[in-house]
Amino acid sequence: MSENKLVIDARGDACPIPVVKTLKALGALSGAGVIETIVDNKIAVDNLSRMATSKGCATSFEQTGDKEWHVVTTAGGAVEVAAGEPEAVACAAPADNVVVQITSDAMGTGDDVLGKKLLKGFVFSLTQLPRLPKTILLYNGGAHLSCEGSDSLEDLKNLADAGVEILTCGTCLDFYGITDKLAVGEVTNMYVIAEKLTGASVVVRP
């Protein structure tokens, strides 16, 4: 392997360790080089991509398994990394008891097609926040989001991988006949929903 290419296996490393390891490796390069970081969740992929871009590096990734991504960071020359900078890295992590309450498969009122597009964008945007919510509650029409065929399913899985609790109302799943379609998170009941909402520091309702 070329001395200007380094492979970092960060599978199993909690955030922000994959970014810290990659940033240190970039700082150690004497010139142009490539860092390939192997991670096991999409949130780490996004954090690595943001870090690479902030350092003026090219970045790409490939998913090679159910929970395996190879993120390639390419430096065109020496990358300046300040002393202590890797240790100061922060990344997406659950915030203190912020609960997102989604009660429909569309966002806002008016046109349903637009509403579904807006809600998809909202859920994706949650994955990009520097601080993630602690819990996402899905009930009534929102129960469809955590089921097979949902446009937001992949984003919800990424949030779940990052430690966000995804809870879907069991009564709602049964009402819509989609209990067997649940593909992420856990089934919950109205007592737990009430408990989560009343105990939240912030409730977000898109």
Mutual angle of helices 42-54 and 17-28, in 10-degree steps: 30
Question: Is the Cα dihedral 122, 128, 129, 132 positive or negative?
Answer: positive
Residue 128: per-residue pLDDT: 86
pLDDT higher than 80, residue 151? yes
DSSP label of 85: T
Q: What is the pLDDT of the chain when averaged over all its residues?
A: 90
Residue 8: per-residue pLDDT: 95
Q: What is the pLDDT of residues 178-201, one digit of tens each?
A: 999 999 999 999 999 999 999 898
Give yes or no for a contact between 35 and 25, defined as CB atoms under 8 angstroms apart.
yes
Q: What is the pLDDT of residues 22-34, one digit of tens each?
A: 988 988 887 889 9
Residue 186: per-residue pLDDT: 96
